[in-house]
């Protein structure tokens, strides 16, 4: 046995808690058993030519890879001078500091310091900046060097993407010369997001599918590791949400469809949700505020949203299943706020099954109509950390990276059928002066809705889908 003497980053293997929240710090004082690393634990090594995919137990993984990254000290909003090691300790929670020490000694991490005009406020992409007027600082002196305003930290980051459900046969529900519409599986992110998802995304997988004559590696820029996409999402769905997702094959068409989707006139957005309890036959109209809270961030730095926006939704029960004590709800969106359906149903007291954030076991399960005060926010954060500590007792160490010492964990209680029960079933655009829809996309019922819906009711939904396909 040996010890990793730093905090470990807990990567999400379960659908019960959101990815971002899983990146809180688990310190040796909190969970000493997580620090014990068996000698026979499987080792993984960064691959030189990403992406390399593997499939195991129904999940698709991307082998770790290295990527040159640029971090502008100004963007981290640190008030006190500090060394690069202190900067990483306080800004990149859950990372192994031994890895950065090794990078400094091997000159795989260095500082770019401006000698003339400082870098602008942060709107430029750092990798595209001309660094001819920057001094390069390397070596052991970086351990004591105090960072200055406008310094840029450069290093070869080791990237470990999160797993996604294996979906080799993506369901294409419509394709023409300018659009590609899919029935998105639950558990797969739409587009790249930070270091958690790049190649394990629907956008990358569809880009590969649309270019079958190309080697997938040819779609990836060797220097930046950005992939050359040929499709752009016209709207977003949460990673755990399934259903209609519209991509455009050029950016002009993407802008056009996006504006149509955001239009309040002529746009129909319908979702199905399975909630706990009996919803009742009454149509419910909700105009509650959408309160964005992220307990994985600091209160002053993104923990709460900047401005409360209001959303409008209507909900009507399609069917109540006595056996599971759950209701299938037809949801109509009149605005498109982030997490709108999830928050509105929570506020009504009907939580969506397996919702990791707003569900009955979620950290934001209680009604919320305004931003919490700092004390209340810190209480939520503490509650989440305790919740996480209780759950990780069941986790198993799966592998350790030979480069950055990142440990990947597996939740053996995880099940592929425990993704959030929210499905986008229809997106239709028909202006008032149009005799028929400009476009109309529907999906069949998701498997969990078919399981509780009587055959005669299910036939109504499936008939409308077949009519749409024949049009």
Q: What are phi and psi of 302, to 5 degrees?
A: 95, 0
Give the integer Cα–Cα distance in Å for 375 and 378.
5
What HEC string does 274-297 produce? EEECCCCCCCEEECCEECCECCCC
Asked whether 77 and 122 are in contact (CB, 8 A), the reply is no
pLDDT of res. 78: 65
pLDDT of res. 12: 35
Please, what are the domains in the chain? 66-159 (no CATH), 164-382+416-470 (3.30.2350.10)
pLDDT of res. 39: 74
How many other β-carbons are positioned within 10 Å of the β-carbon of residue 398? 17
pLDDT of res. 53: 94
pLDDT of res. 105: 94
pLDDT of res. 4: 34
Helix (H, G, I), strand (E, B) or coil at 420: coil
Provide the H-helix boundaries in 7-57: none
pLDDT of res. 48: 86
Give the integer Cα–Cα distance in Å for 27 and 139.
29
State the DSSP H helix or E strand holding residue 388, giving kind and residue range, or none if neither: helix 374-392
Asked whether 25 and 427 are in contact (CB, 8 A), the reply is no
| Token pair belonging to 3 | 């010890």
Give the pLDDT means over successive 10-residue stretches in the chain (471 positions): 33 36 38 58 88 92 92 75 86 77 94 75 54 88 91 91 92 96 96 90 93 83 86 95 97 96 91 97 96 84 82 96 97 94 97 95 93 91 81 81 86 83 97 93 95 84 56 43
pLDDT of res. 253: 97
- Sign of the torsion formed by the C-alpha atoms of 65, 70, 73 and 77: negative
Give the integer Cα–Cα distance in Å for 455 and 216.
43
- Which residue do the tokens 């691959």 mark? 47
Whole-model pTM: value is 0.86
Q: Which of 118, 448, 144 is nearest to 273 (CA)?
A: 448
Give the integer Cα–Cα distance in Å for 263 and 92.
39
pLDDT of res. 149: 85
Give the integer Cα–Cα distance in Å for 99 and 64.
15
Q: Environment class of residue 254 by beta-carbon count within 10 Å: exposed (0-12), middle (13-18) or buried (19+)?
A: buried
């Amino acid at each position: 046995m040996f010890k990793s003497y730093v905090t470990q980053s807990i990567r999400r293997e379960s659908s019960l808690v959101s990815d971002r929240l899983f990146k809180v710090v688990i310190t040796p004082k909190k969970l000493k058993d997580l620090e014990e690393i068996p000698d026979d634990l499987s080792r993984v090594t960064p691959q030189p030519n990403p992406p390399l995919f593997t499939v195991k137990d129904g999940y698709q993984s991307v082998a770790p890879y290295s990527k040159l990254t640029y971090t502008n000290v100004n963007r981290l909003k640190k008030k006190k001078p500090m060394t690069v090691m202190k900067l990483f300790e306080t800004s990149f929670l859950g990372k192994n500091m031994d890895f950065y020490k090794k990078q400094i000694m091997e000159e795989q991490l260095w500082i770019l310091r401006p000698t003339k005009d400082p870098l602008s406020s942060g709107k430029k992409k750092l990798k595209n900046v001309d660094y001819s007027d920057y001094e390069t600082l390397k070596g052991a002196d970086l351990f004591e060097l105090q960072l200055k305003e406008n310094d840029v930290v450069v290093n070869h980051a080791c990237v470990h993407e999160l797993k996604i459900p294996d979906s080799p046969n993506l369901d294409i529900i419509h394709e023409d010369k300018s659009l590609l519409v899919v029935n998105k599986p639950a558990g797969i992110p739409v587009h790249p997001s930070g270091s958690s998802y790049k190649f394990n995304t629907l956008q990358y997988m569809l880009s590969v599918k649309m270019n079958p004559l190309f080697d997938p590696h040819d779609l990836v820029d060797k220097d930046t590791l950005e992939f050359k996409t040929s499709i752009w999402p016209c709207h977003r769905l949460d990673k755990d949400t399934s259903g209609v997702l519209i991509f455009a094959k050029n950016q002009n068409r993407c802008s056009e469809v996006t504006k149509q989707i955001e239009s309040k006139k002529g746009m129909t957005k319908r979702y199905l949700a399975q909630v706990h309890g009996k919803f009742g036959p009454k149509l419910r109209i909700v105009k509650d505020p959408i309160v964005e809270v992220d307990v994985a961030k600091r209160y002053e730095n993104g923990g709460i949203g900047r401005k409360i926006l209001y959303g409008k939704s209507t909900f009507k029960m399609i069917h109540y299943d006595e056996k599971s004590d759950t209701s299938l709800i037809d949801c109509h969106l009149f605005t498109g706020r982030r997490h709108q359906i999830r928050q509105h149903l929570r506020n009504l007291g009907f939580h969506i099954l397996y919702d990791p954030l707003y569900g009955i076991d979620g950290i934001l399960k209680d009604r919320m109509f305004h931003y919490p005060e700092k004390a209340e926010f810190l209480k939520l954060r503490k509650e989440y950390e305790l919740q996480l500590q209780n759950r990780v007792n069941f986790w198993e160490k799966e592998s350790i990276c030979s480069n950055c010492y990142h440990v990947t964990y597996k939740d053996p209680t995880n099940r592929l059928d425990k993704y959030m029960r929210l499905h986008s079933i229809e997106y239709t655009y028909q202006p008032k002066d149009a005799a028929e829809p400009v476009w109309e996309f529907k999906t069949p019922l998701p498997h969990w809705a078919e399981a509780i819906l009587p055959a005669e009711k299910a036939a109504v939904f499936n008939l409308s889908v077949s009519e749409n396909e024949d049009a």
